Amino acid sequence: LVYGESTVIWQYIIDFWSTQSIDVKKYNKEMGLLDTHTDADNYAYRLYREQGEHNDQHILSISAIDFNNDRTKNEAKLRQLAEYIGLQQRQHQQYTNSELVPVHSAVPADNQIKTMIVDEDNQHQALVIQASKAISWQALTKASNNKYLSVHDRSQSNYTYLVKYQDPFLLAKLEQRSFLSKMAFWQDEQDYAPELFFYIQVIGEGKESKIILKDLEQRRISSASARRLLRLLQVEVSR
């Protein structure tokens, strides 16, 4: 767990690999993923960044890109990364004094929809949108075109989408235990991987609405994957 403003932490992460003489292959800040090219031992790393409980908390983990996972190498590299970030923060103390806040706010331009992720009861979260339910539904329709989402059903009367969320973190975990490859071909995808599917619903009245997430049983859900999906929707809706 490291602390700091997201943009600064990402820059530290990217800069770190150059100090290791390892080139960054690709990264996606919104999804919290970074892949490297292979090192001198022909080993390529994959870094995951998850949002902590507060805005300035970042949970970092490292694995191999392929299935030849070396826990010793991963843990050593993660320690080196944490030490590097700590050193950079000590040299730039202003980045370590940000105030903790319990919500995650988008900072949109004047022509963008204003959004905020808020904490609710039972550890659930919701995406509050400063717009009517109809406008939020239109924004959600555009957001559903994201490459990480595939729409399986929609109901405009209920303001609900059923989507499959290609969560890179979750897919990596499933692949590491060969979960997907062992599934019988006749099984329905929603049966063997229900954690990939979400109902996205717009609710609210008046000039403010919010997006909530439910599982396939139509129950509110607050999993790590659900929280990542909510952040992705916030980015897309706020565009």
Least confident of 38-47, 72-81, 167-176: 167-176
> What angle in degrees, to the nearest 10, is found between the helix axes of 71-91 and 6-19?
120
Give me the pLDDT at residue 210, please. 95
- The 3 state secondary structure assigned to 98-142 is CCCCCCEECCCCCCCCCEEEEECHHHCEEEEECCCHHHHHHHHHH
Q: Give the pLDDT confidence score for residue 111 in this predicted structure.
A: 55
CATH T-level fold of 104-237: TATA-Binding Protein (3.30.310)
Picking from 212, 213, 233, the residue whose alpha carbon sits closest to that of residue 149 is 233
SS3 of residue 155 by DSSP? strand
The region of weakest confidence among 16-20, 71-75, 110-114, 175-179 is 175-179
Same topology, domains 2-96 and 104-237? Answer is: yes
Decide which of 9 and 89 is more confident.
Answer: 9
Inter-residue contact 108 to 99 (CB < 8 Å): no
What is the C-alpha separation between 122 and 119, in angstroms, rounded? 9
Can you list the alpha helix ranges (DSSP code H) found in the chain?
A: 6-19, 71-91, 133-143, 168-176, 189-192, 224-237
Report pLDDT for 193. Answer: 77
Query: What rounded mean pLDDT belongs to the chain?
Result: 81
Structure confidence by residue, pLDDT tens digits, 203-214: 998 889 999 999
**pLDDT tier at 104, thresholds 50, 70, 90:** very low
Q: What is the pTM of this model?
A: 0.53
pLDDT for residue 18: 87
Q: Which amino acid is at 25?
A: K
Give the pLDDT mean for 36-65.
86
Assign 30 a pLDDT band (cuts: 50, 70, 90): confident
Query: Any idea where the domains of the chain sit in the sequence?
Result: 2-96, 104-237
Reported as a pLDDT band with limits 50, 70 and 90, residue 176 is low
Considering the domain 2-96, what is its CATH architecture? 2-Layer Sandwich (3.30)
According to DSSP, residue 220 is labeled B
Q: What does the pLDDT average to over 86-98?
A: 62
